[in-house]
Copies of this chain bind each other. A is one copy, B any other.
Amino acid sequence: MAGCLKKGLFKIRKNRKIAKDIYLMILQGDTSAVTAPGQFVNIALNGFYLRRPISVCDLSGDMLTIIYKVVGHGTAYMSKLEKGRHLDLLTGLGNGYDTSCSGDKPLLIGGGVGVPPLYYLAKKLLEQKKHPSVILGFNSREDVFGEQEFKALGLETVITTADGSYGISGFVTDALKNFHNYSYFYSCGPEAMLKAVSDASESSGELSFEERMGCGFGACMGCSCKTKYGNKRICKDGPVLKKEEVIW
């Protein structure tokens, strides 16, 4: 599924806050290496040795959208970049979600900064005339983002918050209990959530993982994990794994 990575300069077209510590950035450049939803880009930042991996949230023409949370020095630096600046990106990284498995009524389950890749996935599924439903989990009302965007695609979109300050009180798995007869699921979020989703899900599905990365393109073995089908590199053979192959 994965094509060949590209390295190129992207121009920042937009970079603004959309929720607590959450920013949306639109980057313009050669996006031709992106071949599937669930892939990620790896961003070089001045003064930081390693690139920062961020999922593709949306893509249209040469405009690539990412949504990122400020959790450390690198993402804090990103949040201060002004539009017009250029960033050096590796694009086309990772396998991405396999939309051919989805069936007619897939379920998308995202938590926190695991939400963004599901948006581009939803659009791709819709292009293929499939009609996903969406569960998005957050900690609290102030953390919520994306609800309007998924709804604007015409999708049933359920929000959960851990503190009950918005939407359903609890975790995505609390919402998941109300869904049945979905054909497949696609998930992205913190590992504890992925595990819970995997356990609670009634169908087959795919999960997108995170790991600290050296290269992001399969060269360094920094991100290896064991699966039922052998050792895999999260960056190249993942980040998306099938529910059935994951060893928890």
Contacts and interface: CB of A to CB of B under 8 A. Distances in A.
Interface string A32-56: 0000000000000011000000000
A247 to B, nearest CB: 42
Copies in the complex: 2
Contacts of A46: 46-47
A118 B46 CA distance: 37
Interface residues of A, number: 2
Contacts of A47: 46-47
Interface in A34-90: 46-47
A84 to B, nearest CB: 11
A47 B45 CA distance: 12
A248 to B, nearest CB: 42
A46 B77 CA distance: 14
A245 B47 CA distance: 44
A190 to B, nearest CB: 34
A86 to B, nearest CB: 13
A74 to B, nearest CB: 15
A219 B50 CA distance: 33
A33 to B, nearest CB: 28
Across chains A and B, which 3 residue pairs bring their CB atoms closest together, nearest first?
A46-B46, A47-B47, A46-B47
3 contacts: A46-B46, A46-B47, A47-B47
